[in-house]
């Protein structure tokens, strides 16, 4: 039976390639990052599913309100197909993508995907379009081979993962969609070898600082208060303090220590001869489980108060925090099923460990539902210019998903 499934998937390679390019030609950038959200992409995905001729499936769209979205809400699409057992294998991928960033750094239009040799290039082809398409075509391969899956299959194509899932899974998981006995796979992290299964994630901690001084001409800085300088002082002191305090290590994580990275900085003034009166910058922090985030917050707020008092600037701090959840056991049913399928397709022995986060898995783990994170994907291409995926990986992921659907 497994040979029939693998052969069926292999025969869909061209169709999968075309589907991935078609889907990734539709931007789905968060309205909180300057985009229009997922509506157009969900509509295109629904058309694609209709064209595949899948039988006996149930489709449902779930919405989450978002006043920044053009429609006032963010859509997620769920597809269910009955198997021999009512217990479900749930595969969750996300339809949203990050912005393209500096367009000049791309060698192609990010939303006009291209095949170059063995690869597909374009924004979202790796993160997370490849696995979205692979999960859908895994189900098609099962049906084409005339095989009834062991488990009922639930494919979830979810909004807002890239911005923290506030308008996606964070609210959806509170609805009557998922079950305690679901086998949950999140194919949103992996490596080229396909030999790593993520079972634990760090806490995700994002800090946004808004520094308000007084704008003036750069020739007369004494007439103003340079928010850029204050921001530089603040960023340096926060960076040093967090690294000095949080020095723990956990070798089960691929980066075995907590990370505190200054990342985003908003545009301030249009000309070099203007002293900015407002500066906005952010930190992205990934903190090992067990580290005291409450203490980290106290440290940062103390620095904010001190720098504000020393400089006279007003400083506002916003915190977006997702605490770490209990790890998924490598002996859980979903991990055992995944290991068996990966071993058969790739001929490797997967190892379980932790990553910097964050994925959908944390929401399931906090509900006590074991979730595994795995895919075969190209290292280091997500969120980069000229993002790409190997066509071979697209096919291999579909094979692993299809074998998991077929069961042990």
8 Å CB contact between 371 and 358: no
SS3 call for 200: strand
Classify domain 203-322 by CATH number.
Answer: 3.30.70.360
Is the pLDDT assigned to residue 120 strictly greater than 90? yes
Please, where are the H alpha helices in 286-332? 293-311
8 Å CB contact between 293 and 242: no
Instruction: Give how far Cα 235 sits from Cα of 225, 271, 293, Å.
Output: 17, 23, 18
**Which pLDDT band holds residue 340 (cuts at 50, 70, 90)?**
very high
What was the pLDDT predicted at 1?
73
Question: Which of the two residues, 113 and 323, has the higher pLDDT score?
Answer: 113
SS3 call for 279: strand
Question: Which of the two residues, 12 and 362, has the higher pLDDT score?
Answer: 12
What is the arithmetic mean of pLDDT over 347-375? 92
What was the pLDDT predicted at 59?
98
**Which pLDDT band holds residue 123 (cuts at 50, 70, 90)?**
very high
Is the pLDDT assigned to residue 26 strictly greater than 80? yes
What percent of the chain clears pLDDT 90, i.e. is strictly above it?
A: 93
pTM: 0.85
Residue 319, Cβ density class (10 Å: 0-12 exposed, 13-18 middle, ≥19 buried): middle
Q: What is the pLDDT of residues 38-75, one digit of tens each?
A: 999 999 999 999 999 999 999 999 999 999 999 999 99
Average pLDDT, the chain: 96
Is the pLDDT assigned to residue 349 strictly greater than 70? yes
What is the arithmetic mean of pLDDT over 384-407? 97
Helix 13-24 × helix 391-406 angle, to 10° = 110
Q: For residue 352, give the DSSP letter.
A: E
Instruction: Read off the tokens for 29.
Output: 């950038």
Q: How many other C-beta atoms lie within 10 A of the C-beta of residue 264?
A: 11
CATH superfamily of 2-201+324-406: Zn peptidases (3.40.630.10)
What is the arithmetic mean of pLDDT over 174-191? 96
**Which pLDDT band holds residue 358 (cuts at 50, 70, 90)?**
confident
Helix 130-144 × helix 2-10 angle, to 10° = 120
What was the pLDDT predicted at 254?
84
Specify the pairing of strand 274-275 against strand 114-116: unpaired
Q: Is 161 a catalytic residue?
A: yes
**Which pLDDT band holds residue 302 (cuts at 50, 70, 90)?**
very high
What is the arithmetic mean of pLDDT over 9-32? 98
Instruction: Read off the tokens for 113.
Output: 């995907």
Among 38, 62, 66, 96, the one annotated catalytic: 96
What percent of the chain clears pLDDT 70, i.e. is strictly above it?
A: 100
**Which pLDDT band holds residue 356 (cuts at 50, 70, 90)?**
confident
Q: What is the pLDDT of residues 134-162, one digit of tens each?
A: 999 999 999 999 999 999 999 999 999 99
Rounded Cα gap, residues 333 and 186, in angstroms: 14
**Which pLDDT band holds residue 107 (cuts at 50, 70, 90)?**
very high
Is the pLDDT assigned to residue 391 strictly greater than 90? yes
Q: Which sequence spans correspond to the domains of the chain?
A: 2-201+324-406, 203-322
Is the pLDDT assigned to residue 408 strictly greater than 70? no
Among 100, 144, 161, 188, the one annotated catalytic: 161
Please, where are the H alpha helices in 94-186? 130-144, 169-172
Q: What is the pLDDT of residues 230-280, one digit of tens each?
A: 999 999 999 999 999 999 999 989 899 999 999 999 999 999 999 999 999
What was the pLDDT predicted at 164?
87
Q: For residue 125, give the DSSP letter.
A: I
Rounded Cα gap, residues 56 and 76, in angstroms: 20
């Amino acid at each position: 039976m497994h040979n029939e499934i693998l052969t069926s998937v292999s025969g869909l390679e061209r169709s999968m390639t075309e589907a991935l390019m078609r889907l990734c030609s539709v931007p789905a950038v968060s309205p909180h990052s300057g985009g229009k959200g997922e509506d157009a992409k969900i509509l295109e995905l629904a058309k694609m599913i209709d064209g595949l001729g899948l039988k006996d499936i149930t489709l449902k769209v779930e919405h989450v309100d978002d006043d920044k979205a053009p429609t006032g809400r963010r859509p997620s699409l769920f597809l269910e197909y009955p198997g021999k057992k009512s217990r479900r294998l749930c595969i969750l991928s996300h339809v949203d993508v990050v912005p393209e960033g500096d367009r000049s750094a791309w060698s192609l239009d990010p939303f006009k995907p291209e095949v170059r040799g063995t690869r597909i290039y374009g924004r979202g082809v790796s993160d997370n379009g490849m696995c979205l398409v692979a999960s859908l075509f895994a189900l098609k391969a099962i049906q084409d081979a005339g095989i009834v899956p062991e488990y009922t299959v639930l494919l979830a194509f979810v909004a807002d993962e890239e911005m923290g899932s506030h308008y996606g899974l964070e609210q959806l998981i509170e609805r009557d969609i998922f079950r305690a006995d679901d086998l949950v796979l999140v194919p949103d992290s992996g490596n080229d070898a396909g030999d790593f299964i993520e079972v634990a994630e760090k806490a995700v901690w994002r800090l946004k600082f808004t520094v308000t001084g007084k704008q003036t001409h750069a020739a007369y800085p004494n007439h103003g208060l340079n928010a850029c300088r204050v921001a530089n002082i603040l960023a340096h002191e926060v960076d040093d303090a967090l690294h000095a305090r949080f020095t723990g290590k956990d070798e089960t994580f691929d980066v075995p220590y907590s990370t505190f990275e200054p990342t985003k900085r908003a545009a301030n003034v249009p000309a070099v001869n203007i002293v900015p009166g407002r500066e906005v910058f952010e930190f992205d922090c990934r903190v090992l489980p067990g580290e005291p985030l409450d203490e980290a917050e106290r440290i940062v707020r103390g620095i904010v108060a001190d720098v504000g008092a020393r400089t006279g600037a007003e400083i506002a701090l916003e915190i977006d925090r997702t605490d770490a959840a209990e790890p998924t056991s490598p002996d859980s049913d979903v991990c055992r099923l995944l290991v068996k399928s990966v071993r058969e397709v790739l001929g490797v022995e997967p190892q379980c460990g932790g990553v910097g986060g964050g994925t959908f898995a944390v929401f399931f783990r906090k509900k006590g539902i074991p979730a595994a994170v795995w895919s075969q994907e190209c290292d280091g291409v997500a969120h980069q210019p000229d993002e790409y995926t190997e066509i071979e990986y697209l096919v291999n992921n579909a094979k692993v998903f299809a074998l998991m659907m077929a069961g042990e």
